[in-house]
Amino acid sequence: MSFFITFEGIEGSGKTTQIRRTAAFLRERGHDVLLTREPGGCPISDAIRRILLDPANSALVPRAELLLYAAARAQHVEEVIAPALHRGMTVLCDRFTDATLAYQGFGRGLDIALIEKLNAVAAGAFAPQLTVLLDMPAEDGLERARRRNLDPALQIEGRFESEALAFHRRVRQGYLEIAATLKRFRILDARGSEDEVFHRIVSALAPFLGEQS
Protein backbone atom coordinates (compact mmCIF):
# COMPACT_ATOMS: atom_id res chain seq x y z
CA MET A 1 0.00 0.00 0.00
CA SER A 2 1.35 3.43 -0.95
CA PHE A 3 1.51 6.42 1.38
CA PHE A 4 1.95 10.06 0.39
CA ILE A 5 3.24 12.16 3.29
CA THR A 6 4.33 15.79 3.04
CA PHE A 7 6.34 17.99 5.38
CA GLU A 8 5.61 21.70 5.56
CA GLY A 9 6.83 24.69 7.54
CA ILE A 10 8.40 28.12 7.37
CA GLU A 11 12.05 28.73 6.58
CA GLY A 12 14.29 27.31 9.29
CA SER A 13 11.68 24.97 10.76
CA GLY A 14 13.91 21.92 10.30
CA LYS A 15 11.88 20.14 7.63
CA THR A 16 14.81 18.90 5.59
CA THR A 17 16.61 17.39 8.57
CA GLN A 18 13.48 15.78 9.96
CA ILE A 19 12.17 14.38 6.68
CA ARG A 20 15.52 12.64 6.14
CA ARG A 21 15.36 11.12 9.62
CA THR A 22 11.78 10.05 8.97
CA ALA A 23 12.76 8.37 5.70
CA ALA A 24 15.49 6.39 7.49
CA PHE A 25 13.06 5.48 10.28
CA LEU A 26 10.47 4.14 7.81
CA ARG A 27 13.05 2.22 5.77
CA GLU A 28 14.20 0.48 8.93
CA ARG A 29 10.61 -0.67 9.37
CA GLY A 30 10.29 -2.13 5.90
CA HIS A 31 8.84 0.75 3.90
CA ASP A 32 10.05 1.29 0.34
CA VAL A 33 10.59 5.05 0.64
CA LEU A 34 11.02 7.74 -1.97
CA LEU A 35 12.33 10.99 -0.49
CA THR A 36 11.81 14.03 -2.70
CA ARG A 37 11.31 17.79 -2.49
CA GLU A 38 9.66 20.81 -4.06
CA PRO A 39 10.51 22.75 -6.00
CA GLY A 40 12.67 20.11 -7.62
CA GLY A 41 12.78 16.35 -7.49
CA CYS A 42 13.73 15.74 -11.14
CA PRO A 43 16.06 17.46 -13.63
CA ILE A 44 13.52 19.85 -15.19
CA SER A 45 12.02 20.82 -11.83
CA ASP A 46 15.50 21.22 -10.35
CA ALA A 47 16.30 23.71 -13.12
CA ILE A 48 13.18 25.68 -12.19
CA ARG A 49 14.21 25.48 -8.52
CA ARG A 50 17.46 27.25 -9.32
CA ILE A 51 15.51 30.14 -10.82
CA LEU A 52 13.04 30.33 -7.93
CA LEU A 53 15.51 30.24 -5.05
CA ASP A 54 18.45 32.21 -6.45
CA PRO A 55 18.75 35.55 -4.59
CA ALA A 56 19.96 37.13 -7.84
CA ASN A 57 16.39 36.78 -9.19
CA SER A 58 14.90 39.43 -6.92
CA ALA A 59 13.03 40.91 -9.91
CA LEU A 60 10.85 37.78 -10.23
CA VAL A 61 7.26 38.97 -9.92
CA PRO A 62 4.74 37.01 -7.80
CA ARG A 63 2.63 35.83 -10.75
CA ALA A 64 5.69 34.46 -12.55
CA GLU A 65 6.85 32.86 -9.31
CA LEU A 66 3.49 31.13 -8.92
CA LEU A 67 3.50 29.81 -12.48
CA LEU A 68 7.04 28.48 -12.13
CA TYR A 69 6.05 26.57 -9.00
CA ALA A 70 3.08 25.08 -10.86
CA ALA A 71 5.28 24.06 -13.80
CA ALA A 72 7.87 22.45 -11.51
CA ARG A 73 5.13 20.55 -9.67
CA ALA A 74 3.46 19.27 -12.82
CA GLN A 75 6.75 17.79 -14.02
CA HIS A 76 7.61 16.41 -10.57
CA VAL A 77 4.24 14.70 -10.13
CA GLU A 78 4.25 13.17 -13.60
CA GLU A 79 7.87 12.04 -13.58
CA VAL A 80 8.47 11.10 -9.94
CA ILE A 81 5.55 11.11 -7.50
CA ALA A 82 2.86 9.37 -9.55
CA PRO A 83 5.09 6.46 -10.68
CA ALA A 84 6.33 5.89 -7.13
CA LEU A 85 2.82 5.82 -5.67
CA HIS A 86 1.65 3.47 -8.43
CA ARG A 87 4.48 1.13 -7.43
CA GLY A 88 3.21 1.11 -3.85
CA MET A 89 6.02 3.20 -2.39
CA THR A 90 5.88 5.53 0.59
CA VAL A 91 6.55 9.02 -0.79
CA LEU A 92 7.90 11.68 1.57
CA CYS A 93 7.89 15.13 -0.01
CA ASP A 94 9.53 18.23 1.45
CA ARG A 95 6.80 20.80 0.58
CA PHE A 96 3.89 20.38 -1.82
CA THR A 97 0.70 22.25 -2.72
CA ASP A 98 0.17 23.70 0.77
CA ALA A 99 3.46 25.59 0.46
CA THR A 100 2.17 27.40 -2.61
CA LEU A 101 -0.97 28.45 -0.76
CA ALA A 102 1.04 29.63 2.24
CA TYR A 103 3.85 31.42 0.37
CA GLN A 104 2.24 32.73 -2.79
CA GLY A 105 -1.28 33.06 -1.37
CA PHE A 106 -0.85 34.32 2.18
CA GLY A 107 2.72 35.56 1.79
CA ARG A 108 2.47 37.28 -1.61
CA GLY A 109 -1.24 38.05 -1.48
CA LEU A 110 -2.16 36.28 -4.71
CA ASP A 111 -5.68 34.97 -5.22
CA ILE A 112 -6.25 31.78 -3.21
CA ALA A 113 -8.87 30.41 -5.61
CA LEU A 114 -6.47 30.83 -8.54
CA ILE A 115 -3.70 29.05 -6.64
CA GLU A 116 -6.04 26.17 -5.79
CA LYS A 117 -6.92 25.80 -9.48
CA LEU A 118 -3.27 25.79 -10.49
CA ASN A 119 -2.46 23.28 -7.75
CA ALA A 120 -5.21 21.02 -9.05
CA VAL A 121 -3.88 21.25 -12.61
CA ALA A 122 -0.28 20.61 -11.53
CA ALA A 123 -0.92 17.83 -9.00
CA GLY A 124 -3.79 16.15 -10.79
CA ALA A 125 -5.44 13.53 -8.59
CA PHE A 126 -2.49 13.29 -6.20
CA ALA A 127 -2.85 14.75 -2.72
CA PRO A 128 -1.09 13.93 0.55
CA GLN A 129 -2.75 11.53 2.97
CA LEU A 130 -0.85 13.10 5.86
CA THR A 131 0.91 16.45 6.24
CA VAL A 132 3.35 17.19 9.07
CA LEU A 133 3.50 20.94 9.75
CA LEU A 134 6.58 21.89 11.75
CA ASP A 135 5.54 25.12 13.39
CA MET A 136 7.55 27.78 15.17
CA PRO A 137 7.53 31.58 15.47
CA ALA A 138 8.64 33.27 12.27
CA GLU A 139 11.37 35.17 14.12
CA ASP A 140 12.98 31.95 15.33
CA GLY A 141 12.76 30.19 11.99
CA LEU A 142 14.14 33.12 10.03
CA GLU A 143 17.06 33.49 12.42
CA ARG A 144 17.85 29.78 12.02
CA ALA A 145 17.60 29.96 8.24
CA ARG A 146 19.78 33.03 7.90
CA ARG A 147 22.39 31.52 10.21
CA ARG A 148 22.33 28.34 8.11
CA ASN A 149 22.80 30.36 4.93
CA LEU A 150 26.11 31.74 6.16
CA ASP A 151 27.42 28.59 4.47
CA PRO A 152 28.39 29.82 0.95
CA ALA A 153 27.09 26.59 -0.56
CA LEU A 154 23.57 27.43 0.66
CA GLN A 155 23.50 31.11 -0.25
CA ILE A 156 22.48 30.31 -3.81
CA GLU A 157 19.06 29.23 -2.47
CA GLY A 158 18.46 32.12 -0.09
CA ARG A 159 15.93 34.25 -1.99
CA PHE A 160 13.11 33.73 0.49
CA GLU A 161 15.33 34.25 3.52
CA SER A 162 15.92 37.79 2.24
CA GLU A 163 12.20 38.60 2.61
CA ALA A 164 11.09 40.82 5.49
CA LEU A 165 9.90 39.29 8.76
CA ALA A 166 6.33 40.41 8.00
CA PHE A 167 6.30 38.14 4.94
CA HIS A 168 7.36 35.11 6.98
CA ARG A 169 4.73 35.90 9.62
CA ARG A 170 2.05 35.89 6.93
CA VAL A 171 3.34 32.56 5.63
CA ARG A 172 3.23 31.02 9.10
CA GLN A 173 -0.29 32.32 9.68
CA GLY A 174 -1.30 30.93 6.31
CA TYR A 175 -0.02 27.49 7.21
CA LEU A 176 -1.94 27.54 10.48
CA GLU A 177 -5.15 28.62 8.77
CA ILE A 178 -4.79 25.92 6.10
CA ALA A 179 -4.05 23.27 8.74
CA ALA A 180 -7.13 24.26 10.72
CA THR A 181 -9.36 23.31 7.79
CA LEU A 182 -7.82 19.96 6.80
CA LYS A 183 -7.86 16.78 8.90
CA ARG A 184 -4.70 15.42 7.26
CA PHE A 185 -2.53 17.99 9.07
CA ARG A 186 -0.55 17.30 12.23
CA ILE A 187 0.80 20.54 13.71
CA LEU A 188 3.99 19.87 15.67
CA ASP A 189 6.19 22.22 17.66
CA ALA A 190 9.47 22.60 15.74
CA ARG A 191 11.31 24.07 18.73
CA GLY A 192 13.63 22.05 20.92
CA SER A 193 16.40 19.62 20.07
CA GLU A 194 16.50 17.66 16.83
CA ASP A 195 15.74 14.46 18.77
CA GLU A 196 12.80 16.02 20.60
CA VAL A 197 11.20 17.15 17.35
CA PHE A 198 11.83 13.77 15.72
CA HIS A 199 10.09 11.96 18.58
CA ARG A 200 7.06 14.21 18.07
CA ILE A 201 7.00 13.22 14.41
CA VAL A 202 7.23 9.50 15.17
CA SER A 203 4.36 9.85 17.63
CA ALA A 204 2.26 11.60 14.99
CA LEU A 205 3.05 9.01 12.33
CA ALA A 206 2.34 5.93 14.43
CA PRO A 207 -1.47 6.15 14.57
CA PHE A 208 -1.68 7.12 10.89
CA LEU A 209 0.41 4.20 9.70
CA GLY A 210 -1.48 1.88 12.02
CA GLU A 211 -4.82 3.01 10.66
CA GLN A 212 -3.66 2.54 7.07
CA SER A 213 -2.09 -0.90 7.48
pLDDT, tens digit, 9 for 90 and up, residues 199-211:
999 999 998 887 6
How does residue 150 score in pLDDT terms, banded at 50, 70 and 90? low
Q: Supply the angle between the helices 62-76 and 43-53 in degrees, to the nearest 10.
A: 160
Cα 139–chain centre separation: 19
* Residue among 46, 37, 135, 34 nearest 87 (CA): 34
Q: What percent of the chain has pLDDT over 70?
A: 95
Q: CB count, 10 Å around CB of 25? A: 15
Q: What residue numbers bound the domain in which 60 lies?
A: 3-212
pLDDT, tens digit, 9 for 90 and up, residues 158-189:
899 989 999 999 999 999 999 999 999 999 99
Q: How many separate domains does the chain show?
A: 1
Q: Mean pLDDT, to the nearest integer, of 6-13?
A: 97
pLDDT, tens digit, 9 for 90 and up, residues 22-65:
999 999 999 999 999 999 999 999 999 999 999 999 999 999 99
Q: Mean pLDDT, to the nearest integer, of 9-24?
A: 97
pTM (2 d.p.): 0.94
**Sign of dihedral through CA atoms 125, 126, 128, 134?**
negative
Phi/psi of residue 183, each to 5°?
Answer: -70, -20
The CATH number given to whatever domain includes residue 192 is: 3.40.50.300
